[in-house]
Amino acid sequence: MTGSLFRRLLLIAVALIVITLFAIDRVLVGTEVRLQVFTIALISSLMALLVAFLISRSLAHRVSKLKQITEGILTGAPDRPVEDSSDDLGSLEHSIAGVAKELRRLLDRLRFESARREAILSSMAEGVLAVDPDLRVTFCNTAFLKAIGFRGAAFEGLSLLELVRDTGLHQLLREVLSTGEPRNLRVKLSAAFGRTFEVQANPLAMPAGRGAIAILHDTTELERLEQVRKDFVANVSHELRTPLAGVIGYAETLLDGALSDTANSRKFVEIIRTNAVRLNSIAADLLVLSELESGIDPEPEVISVAGVLDAAVVTVQAEARERDVTLICENVENVFVSGSRLRLEQAILNLLANAIKFNRPGGEVHVRATLDDRHQVEIVISDTGVGIPSQDLPRIFERFYRIDKARSRQVGGTGLGLSIVKHVVERMNGAVEVESQLGRGSVFTLRLPSV
Ligand SMILES: Nc1ncnc2c1ncn2[C@@H]1O[C@H](COP(=O)(O)OP(=O)(O)OP(=O)(O)O)[C@@H](O)[C@H]1O
Ligand SMILES: [Mg+2]
pLDDT 10s digits, 215-235: 999 999 999 899 888 988 888
Taking only the tens place, the pLDDT of each residue in 230-259 is 988 888 898 899 899 999 999 999 999 888
Asked if residue 1 has pLDDT above 60, the reply is: no
Q: Is residue 428 scored above 90 in pLDDT?
A: yes
Instruction: Tell me the C-alpha distance between 348 and 271, whole Å.
Output: 29
Position 200 pLDDT exceeds 70? yes
Place 35 in a pLDDT band, splitting at 50, 70 and 90.
Answer: confident
CA distances from 222 to 102, 109, 228, 398 (A): 50, 40, 10, 18
CA of 280 to the centre of ligand 2 (A): 15
Give residue 132's pLDDT band: very low, low, confident or very high (50, 70, 90): very high
How many residues are recorded in the chain?
451
Q: Which residue type sits at 9?
A: L
Ligand nearest the Cα atom of residue 435? 1
Q: What is the rounded CA–CA span in Å between residue 331 and residue 309? A: 11
Q: What is the pLDDT of residue 158?
A: 87
pLDDT at 78 exceeding the cut of 80: no
Q: What separation in Å is there between the alpha carbon of 273 and the centre of ligand 1?
A: 23
Residues 6+ positions from 267 with CB-CB distance below 8 Å: none
Ligand 2 mean position, distance from CA 408 (Å): 9
**Domain parsing of the chain, residue ranges:** 2-107, 124-218, 234-294, 301-449
End-to-end CA distance of the chain: 85
Average pLDDT over residues 401-419: 81
Choice among 180-184, 264-268, 308-312 with the minimum mean pLDDT: 264-268
113 confidence band (pLDDT: 50, 70, 90): very high
**Average model confidence (pLDDT) for the chain?**
89
**What Å distances lie between residue 394 and 220, 397, 432, CA to CA?**
20, 7, 12
Q: Which CATH number fits domain 234-294: 1.10.287.130, 3.40.50.300, 1.10.287.70, 3.90.79.10?
A: 1.10.287.130
Q: What is the pLDDT of residues 375-405, one digit of tens each?
A: 999 999 999 999 999 999 999 999 888 888 7
Q: What is the number of the ligand closest to the CA of 284?
A: 1
- Residue of 358, 438, 446 to test ligand 1 pocket, by largest number of atoms within 8 Å of CB: 358
Q: Which CATH class is domain 301-449?
A: alpha beta
Percent of the chain with pLDDT over 70: 97
pLDDT at residue 100, rounded to an integer: 81
How far is residue 271's CA from residue 247's CA, in Å, rounded to a whole number? 8
Q: Is the pLDDT of residue 2 over 60?
A: no
Strand locations in 55-180 (E): 127-131, 137-140
Distance CA 170, CA 192 (A): 15
Give percent of the chain above pLDDT 90: 52
* Confidence check: pLDDT of 176 > 60: yes
How do residues 91-102 score in pLDDT, each as one tens digit? 888 888 888 888
- Give the per-residue pLDDT at 353: 96
Give the position, in ligand 1's atom list, of the atom nearest the Cα of 383: 1
Residue 61: other Cβ atoms inside 10 A: 12
Mean pLDDT of 427-437: 96
Model pLDDT for residues 346-367, shown as the tens digit of each residue: 999 999 999 999 999 999 999 9
* Better pLDDT: 298 or 421: 421
Residue 310 scores a pLDDT above 90: yes
The secondary structure of 318-380 as a DSSP string is HHHHHTT-EEEEEEE---EEEE-HHHHHHHHHHHHHHHHHTS-TT-EEEEEEEE-TTSEEEEE
Rounded-to-integer distance, Cα 423 and Cα 6, Å: 89
pLDDT at 291 over 80: yes
Give kind and range of the element (H or E) at residue 224: helix 220-255
Pocket of ligand 1 (CB under 6 A): 285, 350, 354-355, 358, 383, 385-388, 396, 401-404, 408, 413-419, 442
Please determine, for residue 157, whether its predicted confidence score (pLDDT) is greater than 80: yes
pLDDT of 406 above 80: no
pLDDT over 80 at 201, yes or no = yes
Q: How many helical (H) and strand (E) elements, i.e. helices and strands, does the chain have? A: 12, 12
Q: What is the dihedral of CA 188, 189, 193, 196, to 10 degrees?
A: -40
Tens-digit pLDDT profile for residues 57-67: 888 888 888 88
In this structure, the residue with its CA closest to atom 29 of ligand 1 is 402
**Considering only 75-79, 92-96, 122-126, 207-211, which range has the smallest mean pLDDT?**
75-79
43: Cβ contacts below 8 Å, ≥ 6 apart: none
Query: Considering only the top CATH level, what class is 124-218?
Result: alpha beta
